[in-house]
Structure 1
Amino acid sequence: MFTRHILILGCFFSCSLGTVRSAVADEYDPLTTASDFTAETLKLDVIDSNRDRTIPILVYLPESRSSEPVVLFSHGLGGSREASPYLGKHWAARGYVAVFLQHPGSDSSVWEDKPIGSRMQAMEAAASGKNMIDRVRDVPAVLDQLQRWNDEASHPLHGRLELDVVGMSGHSFGALTTQSVSGQSAGRFGQRATDSRIKAAILMSPSKPRLGNAKTAFADVSIPWLLMTGTHDVGAIGGQTAESRRGVYPALPAGDKYELVLHNAEHSAFSDRGLPNDRLSRNPNHHVVILALSTAFWDAYLRNDNAAKTWLQGAPAKAILEPLDEWQAK
C-alpha cells in the first residue's frame, strides 16, 4: 500500500488520475477512471422567476446516457461555477452528473471589477446574511429546474438525471450552504432549509454556527456527512479558525459521519488555485486524497456500493493518507 501511495503521488503532475492504477489488485479503487474519458460540459442558466434571479450552472456529464446520480457543488465566497474543475471532471468520470452552481451576489462578480485595494472590503460585504439566504434558496431552485429539464424530451439533460439520489457539496461559504440544506438547524427556524432530495453531503472547510450551540445545530443531521479540513484551514473572512472547523464533527450524531484533516493544508487546498494569504506550499497528495475519499463516499451513499463503504471504513482509505493526516468515522 505504501508503494501505491508513492505511485499516485509521483505521477500526479505527469499523468491524469484516469491512468493511476493500484500496485495492489484491490477490488475497489475510487481513483480508477477510463484513461480516455473527457467530460462533456454544459453551461446553463437556471431562472428562478419567483426571485427574479438567474443562477448560472456548469454541468459535467458522465459517459453514460442513462439516468445517473446528481452531485451539486457550491463555490466559496468570490468563486464561480468554474471553481474546482478537478472535482467535476473526476466525479463525472466516475459516472456522476456533477452540477456546479454559481451564486450571484457572492460570486466572482463581487471582486472582478474592483481595484485591488478594495477587493477585500467588497468580499467582506458579500459575506452577508442576505447572500446566505439567497444561496440556500438557489439549491432547491436548481434541483427543481433540473427535474424539468430531465422530463423535457428535447433537452440535452433529458433522462440523464437521477434526482431521487442527490449529493450536496461545497467549499467554505459553499460548505455553509451545504450544511444549511442538508440537516443543520437554524435556531427557531429548525431545519426549514433542509431539502429531502439530498441523501449525502460533503463539506470542505465546514463552519460552526456563530450563534448558539453546535450540538443543538447539528443534532438532527440524519444523512451521511463527510467533513474535510486542514491544520491551517483559516479563512480570511468569517472568523473561522482551523480549531473551530474541527468543532463540527464532535457535534454531529453518530452514524455515517466522517472527518478528514489534512496536515499542513490551508484554506485553498480544496480548490485548484492558491489564495493571496497562502503561506505553505501546496501538497499534490491533498487532491489525491480528496478525490479518493469523496468518490468512495458518493459511491457508498448514493449508489449503495458496499465495496466502497468497506474501503471507506477500512485500511485502504487510511493507506492513501500521509502520516500526519487524520481520518475518523463514527
Structure 2
Amino acid sequence: MRDDVFPRPGVSRRRFGAMLVGGVAAAAVTPAIRPAGAASEDVRIADLDWVDAGRDRRVPARLYWPSPGAPAGPVPLIVFSHGLGQSRTGYSYLGRHWAANGYASLHVQHVGSDGTVWAGNPFEVLDRVNLAADEREAIARAADMSFALDRILGRDSTFAAFIDPARIVAAGHSYGANTTLIVGGARVVREGKTIDRRDMRFKAGIVISAPPFYGERDLHAVLAAVTMPTFHVTATADVIALPGRRSPVQDRLDVYEAVGTSRKALAVFQGGSHSIFTDRALTGGVTLNPQVKQATAEGALAFLDLTFRGDPSPLASWSETWRPLLAVAPTAYPVTGSGRHPSRRDRPRS
C-alpha cells in the first residue's frame, strides 16, 4: 500500500544478583493486578512498501494510526525497530495500544535482519545470523529508520501534516533497541573514524531488552553521546540465546548505566523472558505474558508524558499499579520548566 492511502539510581551487579535470587519466590505468586484503563483499540493500519533507491534497499513498514476523531491536533510519532528475525507485522500489541492512545506508531522492517534469517537451509542459520548481526547491517538498520522518517514526513506523504515533529520517538526491542540507541547518538570508532548515525529528529527513545554492542569493550564510550531521554525495559529472566551469541540480563543494565543522559528511567519485570516482549503469547508464562505486554505499552507512554509534558505523575502511577510485577520500578528524572505539549490526556475522545 502506498503512503497516500489512508534518573534511576545505579543498579550494581551485586544488587541485581540479589534481585534475581529474590525474584524466584516472588515470580511464583500471581500478582493481583487491576486491569489498567486501556482505551479502545479502534485504530487504522496501513502497510507501506517503500524502496530507498540510494541504497537499493526495500524498507517495508506498517503504520498504526489513531482512530478518526481521537487526536485534536498533530500526533506524536513512534518509529519502531524490530528484533532479529522479526518483521513489520510484529509487536502489534505496542502499535495498537499506542495508536489507541493518540500516538502514531510506524513499525519498520529491516530486510537484512528480518524473518529471512530463519528461512532456508537450517545448517546455514549461523551464517545468516552472523550476516544479519554484522555492523554493516546495524548501520543499515539505522539508515532504515531515518529513511522511513523521511518518507512519512515528506511533502508527498498524506500523514506529514498530522504529525508533530517536536514529538518523534525511536523505539525498539533487542536488535531494535540497539538501532534505537544508534539513531539516538551511539558511536563506534573504526579505523580512526567515528561512525555516527544520530538523527536529531528523534527526541526520545524506548529501549526494550537492549543487547550489548558486541565486540565493543568500552560501552560508556559507545553510549556517552546518547543524550535524548530513554526508557529502558527488561526482565529478570531476559537472557538472549542465539546461535553463537549469549547475553545475560546484566548486559541490559550495563547499557542503561552507560547511556550518557541523566534523563532516563529503568523498569525491570520479575521473571519474564527475552521474547516476552514480542507478539508470542506464551513465553514467560500464560499469566505473566499479557501483563508484561500491557505494562510495557502503558509504561512507555507514561515515560513520554514525563518527557514531553514534564509530568512525572503518570510514571509514578504506573510504577505503583505494576509494582507487584516489578523487580525495579522506574523513577522520574528531574524536570525543569513546563515544556508542556498536548498529550493523549488532553485530547477529546470520540
Q: TM-score, normalised by structure 1?
A: 0.80
Corresponding residue to 2:319 among 298, 317, 323: 317
User: Which range moved further: 39-48 or 169-178?
Assistant: 39-48
Q: What's the counterpart of residue 42 of structure 2?
A: 38
Within the alignment, does 1:225 sit opposite 2:224 as a pair? no
Task: Give the SS at the match of 1:202.
Answer: strand
CA distance in 2, matches of 1:253, 1:310: 24
Corresponding residue to 1:180 among 179, 182, 190: 182
Q: What's the counterpart of residue 110 of structure 2?
A: 103
Corresponding residue to 2:259 among 241, 252, 257: 252
Structure 1, residues 112-145: CA drift from partner, whole Å, max 9, x if none? 3x25565455334322222112111111111111
Within the alignment, does 1:290 sit opposite 2:296 as a pair? yes
Within the alignment, does 1:195 sit opposite 2:199 as a pair? yes
Q: What's the counterpart of residue 99 of structure 2?
A: 92
CA distance in 1, matches of 2:271, 2:298: 19
Instruction: State the percentage of identical aligned residues.
Output: 29
Q: Is the 8 A contact 1:66 1:159 kept in 2?
A: no
- Paired positions, count: 293
User: What's the offset of the Cα at 1:76?
Assistant: 0.5
CA distance in 2, matches of 1:323, 1:229: 12
User: Which range moved further: 250-259 or 172-181?
Assistant: 250-259
CA distance in 2, matches of 1:77, 1:286: 20
Within the alignment, does 1:133 sit opposite 2:139 as a pair? yes
Q: Is the 8 A contact 2:224 2:261 kept in 1?
A: no
Q: Is the 8 A contact 1:266 1:280 kept in 2?
A: no
CA distance in 2, matches of 1:158, 1:183: 24
Task: Give the SS at the match of 1:72.
Answer: strand
Task: Give the SS at the match of 1:169.
Answer: strand
Q: In the alignment, residue 228 of structure 1 is paired with which amino acid?
A: V
User: What's the offset of the Cα at 1:66?
Assistant: 4.0
User: What's the offset of the Cα at 1:311?
Assistant: 2.5
CA distance in 2, matches of 1:189, 1:233: 33
Task: Give the SS at the match of 2:106.
Answer: strand
CA distance in 1, matches of 2:165, 2:234: 28
Structure 1, residues 229-277: CA drift from partner, whole Å, max 9, x if none? 11121222333211122111222345221111111111111111169xx
CA distance in 2, matches of 1:67, 1:315: 26
Q: TM-score, normalised by structure 2?
A: 0.76
**1:156-171, aligned counterparts within 5 Å?**
156-171=158-173
Does the C-alpha gap of structure 1 residues 121 and 282 become closer, same or farther in structure 2, counting only changes over 3 Å? farther
Unaligned runs of 5+ in 2: 1-30, 334-350
Structure 1, residues 146-167: CA drift from partner, whole Å, max 9, x if none? 121xx33xx5425222233210
Q: In the alignment, residue 54 of structure 2 is paired with which amino acid?
A: N
Does the C-alpha gap of structure 1 residues 267 and 274 become closer, same or farther in structure 2, counting only changes over 3 Å? farther
User: Which range moved further: 119-128 or 214-223?
Assistant: 119-128
Q: Is the 8 A contact 1:183 1:220 kept in 2?
A: yes
Structure 1, residues 280-326: CA drift from partner, whole Å, max 9, x if none? 6561321122022111122332xx2244x2231x3542331325521
Does the C-alpha gap of structure 1 residues 323 and 266 become closer, same or farther in structure 2, counting only changes over 3 Å? closer
Q: What's the counterpart of residue 33 of structure 2?
A: 6
Q: Is the 8 A contact 1:76 1:171 kept in 2?
A: yes
Q: What's the counterpart of residue 22 of structure 2?
A: none
Within the alignment, does 1:62 sit opposite 2:66 as a pair? yes
- What is the alpha-carbon root mean square deviation over aligned residues? 2.5
Does the C-alpha gap of structure 1 residues 117 and 280 become closer, same or farther in structure 2, counting only changes over 3 Å? farther
CA distance in 1, matches of 2:114, 2:287: 24
Q: What's the counterpart of residue 53 of structure 1?
A: 57
Task: Give the SS at the match of 1:261.
Answer: strand
CA distance in 1, matches of 2:109, 2:304: 22
Task: Give the SS at the match of 1:239.
Answer: strand
CA distance in 1, matches of 2:324, 2:281: 21
Does the C-alpha gap of structure 1 residues 282 and 102 become closer, same or farther in structure 2, counting only changes over 3 Å? farther
Higher relative contact order (CA 8 A, sep 6+): 2
Structure 1, residues 210-231: CA drift from partner, whole Å, max 9, x if none? 3131222222221101111111
CA distance in 1, matches of 2:123, 2:193: 38
